[in-house]
Structure 1
Amino acid sequence: MHVGYSANFQNPADALPDSEVWGSELELIDELESLGFESLWTVEHHFTDYIMCPDPVQFLTYHAGRTERILLGTGVIVLPWHDPMRIAEQITMLDNLSGGRLILGLGRGIARVEYDGFRVDMNTSRERFIEYAEMIIEGLERGYLEHDGEFVQQPRRDIRPRPEHSFRGRTYAAAVSPESMPIMAKLGVGLLVIPQKPWDIVEQDFAVYNEIYEQENGCAAPPPLSGGSCFVDESADRAEEMAHRYMGAYYASIMQHYEFGDDPHRGVKGYEFYTNITKYISRHGAEGAADDFVKLMPWGTPEQVIEKFEFIKNTINAAGFMPGFSYGGMPYSEVERSVRLFADKVLPELKSWDAPPLQVPALASAA
């Protein structure tokens, strides 16, 4: 079983200088390889204190030069905010510099504040994502981009430096809404799962995705990778208290960044599913919704955390995990304590589990 680490760079209510948040995160990240983590991930976000990483590729390029083996995951690059030609160049450059260590994760984004900030009409997001993703996925295999579409008219241009390795089998996309499952299956990409819905609903979504993937691609879908927030403590009671305090605060930051309390997706094309979140919060209250969110996550004693990861693995046939440990304004002393306990008592067990290997050139070369 592959196990990575997700870096969040949260600064709720601007409690700390942004530079201090980044400095504390980077100190811990520098130890990941020696602690036994196998990949490093971050996600693209802009403009707020939610997650302060506007450029995952730049962040991972920095760490490509500071590490030797750890894989580098974009979880995700939000395609509708960017020029596909530039994204293809950045991807190829990082993969070449790192010796084929990149795991490519793509997404379309759902925050109004970010779409407005980049002056992109949210009503076009789904169509833009599909068009851009097809361009980039095909271009990385051919070594050039050429496209005449609704949003992009790209004359043929080579990607330089040329892609040295195929990205087939190591390209993933985040998908939350049921409508996204057929899209990702037809694109031929794997799924990145961030726990947000009850696991029985996720299981139903995967049944649709797996069926369509096999129909469209003539082979079984790649097993997914799963993220989520994690907290480990030797005391079950303390773990529960900390999880509800800080994962609950993380959920509050999600509600604020995405404005779910204001129903920002009503009437926006392609975001019909997300209006259900506003309705859910209205029915259950912010505290009840946060409690349900926390229940989805792996927290507890080492034994309890292993049990919860095992449940997730068995439910979605996961090939790997990339949990996050820093969220909701948790003091970095607590973050580090949780990470070290995880590395000592949880990580070896997870890595001992049988799972399909990731299709990454760097791993193939090492074998």
Structure 2
Amino acid sequence: MKFSIALHMERFSPDVDMREVVSDTLEIARIADAGGFETIWTAEHHTIEFTIAPNPFQMLTWWGAHTERIRLGSATVVAPYWTPIRLAGEAALCDHLTGGRLEFGIARGAYQYEFDRMAGGMPQEQGGAYMQELLPAVQKLWAGDYAHEGKYYNFPLATSVPKPRQQLNPPIWVAARDPGTFDWAVRNGYNILSTPLSAPPAEVGVLGEKFRKATSDHPNVPKPRFMMLRRACVYEKAGDWELPVKLSAAYGRSFENLFRNIGTVVNGFPENVPMETVVNRADYDPEAIRDNLLFGTPDEVIEKLMIYEAAGVDQFCLGLAFNLPQELKRKTLELFVKEVMPVFAARERDAAHERAKATA
């Protein structure tokens, strides 16, 4: 199992200077690169201060200029906000400007608050149909001249300028939680991005089973990769869990606000909606948050990660953007690189050795 991080610029108060936000975000990206993480992922969001990411390709190009080897992924572009020609060209240019390091992730979108402002108020669950028309069109534009006449997009003969630097195209990842999206993505040869959100660890196995079913239903398709994201904080002492848990709960209540469009947003800052309005209230119990998310000492985190490895996850992504203080982000990466990653690197070497013995 490989490891990545999810990061974007974030402000939770107008008192925080954007220059500090920019500097802190770049510092974490560079630490992840030096530490051997496989990918850094960033999102697309609009009009929201706690996810300052209006164009992931700008973020990735910026990070690419200040890093050496880490892959650079969009997690994710939101399909209904784009047209095929624009998306194909911007992604391909990012691939060139980052030296062929782009990982192309796409989703239907999540926040109804955003859809009301970016997609004419359409229900966010309808975004999947846009994604399923948009993505194949982007691939065909990357390949050469192509005209499209569909339900949501229409254009005469055109092509992507430029074409991607990577041969064929950058690796493609699709965000999925429901079985239909898993099946569609695997059937078309796309990798899977997924998250159990704040649900108990059993949800990891549920998502893993969806992935296994999709791959078994399409045995002639090369097996794609499977990435899973959780909020993460690693600390030295077991008793240090209270702050990240408190911040995660507050972040979740803002997420509920935007996802279900049930609260107010003032000058880009969403309110933390009252607990009585949230769904799955049990997931907000402090001990549940501590146990469900990737919070813990290195030993506790290693034990939790075994669940993801058993579920078939190829890449685990540490979600670091939930108002975690900069020093805790640094400490999380320091401890993860020093004490967690070597354990899984050794497990990978041992597994490779066993496979070699079996085929000898």
Q: TM-score, normalised by structure 2?
A: 0.83
Aligned to 1:322: 317
- 1:272-311 superposed matches below 5 A: 281-282=278-279, 284=281, 287-288=284-285, 292-311=288-307
Q: Which amino acid aligns with 2:330?
A: E
Aligned residue among 342, 351, 354 for 1:348: 342
Indicate the SS of the match to 2:335. Answer: helix
Checking the alignment, whether the CA contact within 8 Å between 1:5 and 1:41 is kept in structure 2 is yes
Quote how far apart the aligned CAs of 1:40 are: 1.5
Aligned AA (1:83): T
CA distance in 1, matches of 2:280, 2:37: 40
Q: Provide the C-alpha distance between the structure 2 equivalents of 1:341 and 1:188, rounded to a whole number of angstroms.
A: 35
Structure-2 change in CA distance of 1:167 and 1:247 (3 Å): farther
Structure-2 separation of matches of 1:217 and 1:122: 36
What are structure 2's unaligned runs of at least 5 residues?
264-274, 350-360
Partner of 1:160 in structure 2? 161
Pairing partner for 1:227 from 226, 229, 246: 229
For the structure 1 residues 81 and 347, does the alpha-carbon distance in structure 2 shift closer, same or farther, using more than 3 Å as the test?
same
Q: Deviations over 1:32-83 (max 9, x none)?
A: 2222223211111111123111111111011222222111111111111011
C-alpha distance in 2 between matches for 1:157 and 1:279? 52
Change (3 A) 1:28 1:208: closer
TM-score (norm 1): 0.81
Q: For the structure 1 residues 160 and 9, does the alpha-carbon distance in structure 2 shift closer, same or farther, using more than 3 Å as the test?
A: same
* Structure 1 consecutive aligned stretches of length 4 or more whose deviation exceeds 6 Å: none
Deviation at 1:203, TM superposition (A): 3.2
Q: Is residue 250 of structure 1 aligned with residue 246 of structure 2?
A: no
Partner of 1:312: 308
Quick one: structure 1 residues 216 and 166, their matched pair in 2 at CA, closer, same or farther if it must change by over 3 Å? farther
Q: Which residue of 2 aligns with 1:173?
A: 174
Q: CA-atom RMSD, angstroms? A: 2.8
Name the structure, 1 or 2, with higher relative contact order (CA <8 Å, separation 6+): 1
- Give a deviation string over 1:78-129, Cα, whole Å, max 9, x none: 1110111111111111212333211111101121221121243424422211
Indicate the SS of the match to 1:333.
helix
Contact 2:42 2:75 in 1 (8 A): yes
Partners of 1:164 and 1:21 lie apart in 2 by 31
Q: 1:161, 1:131 → 2: CA distance? A: 21
Secondary structure (helix, strand or coil) at the match of 1:48 reads: coil
The runs of 5 or more residues in structure 1 that have no matched partner are 263-277, 356-367
Distance 1:188 1:111 in 2: 27
2:163 alignment partner, SS class: coil
- State the secondary structure of the residue aligned to 1:146: strand
Residues 120, 145 of structure 1: CA spacing in aligned structure 2 closer, same or farther, 3 A cutoff?
A: farther
Alignment of 1:67-216 (within 5 A): 67-123=67-123, 124-140=126-142, 142-166=143-167, 170-196=171-197, 197-216=199-218
Percent identity, please: 23
